[in-house]
């Protein structure tokens, strides 16, 4: 009985410590705060029953992030529609007209137009700073697929929002 309580405690601790980071990743994938929360909850529910095995494997965070990406892509494959972001009218001023917030909005809108797989590759590559081989392993595909998805996604981003070409993404406010 003590082992089960220990697994519950470590899972609860993991959830407390990592939910914010997982939510930021989920938000970048979905482009919607509510869908991001749902994605994180579905992922955590999916790993809860296997937590003892996952934690025994050494790095539960890597496993959970991989499950998060797979859950995101699975939702898309099941035919769930991605909600369209509500676009602000161009003549309506932003409440805080700083360049950082404007760049973040532009980036979010451009990311929302990408396919879920392309968005996952970009988030892993540029937000999590993963290598192509790590991304391929996480997503269960070949390195060549990661390269082509990255190339195609960046080309689409350049088409959708050419002003992002010079943007320093580390300064853009894209999270919640």
* Residues in the chain with pLDDT values less than 50: 1-3, 80, 82-90, 92-97, 169-176
pTM across the whole model: 0.57
* DSSP for 53-108, written as a single string: HHHHTS-HHHHHHHHHHHHHHHHHHTTPPPPPPPPPPTTSPPSS--HHHHHHHHHH
């Amino acid at each position: 009985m003590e082992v089960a309580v220990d697994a519950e405690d470590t899972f609860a601790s993991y959830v407390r410590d990592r939910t914010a980071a997982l939510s930021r990743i989920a938000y970048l994938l979905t482009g919607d705060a509510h869908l991001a929360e749902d994605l994180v909850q579905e992922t955590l529910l999916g790993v809860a029953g296997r937590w003892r095995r996952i934690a025994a494997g050494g790095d539960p965070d890597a496993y959970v992030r991989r499950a998060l990406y797979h859950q995101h892509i699975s939702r898309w494959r099941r035919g769930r529609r991605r909600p369209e972001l509500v676009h602000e009218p161009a003549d309506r001023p932003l409440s805080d007209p700083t360049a950082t917030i404007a760049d973040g909005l532009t980036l979010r809108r451009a990311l929302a137009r990408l396919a879920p797989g392309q968005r996952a590759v970009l988030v892993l590559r540029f937000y999590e700073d993963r290598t192509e081989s790590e991304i391929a392993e996480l997503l269960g595909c070949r390195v060549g697929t990661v390269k082509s998805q990255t190339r195609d996604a960046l080309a689409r981003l350049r088409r959708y929002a050419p002003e992002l070409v010079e943007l320093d993404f580390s300064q853009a406010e894209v999270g919640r």
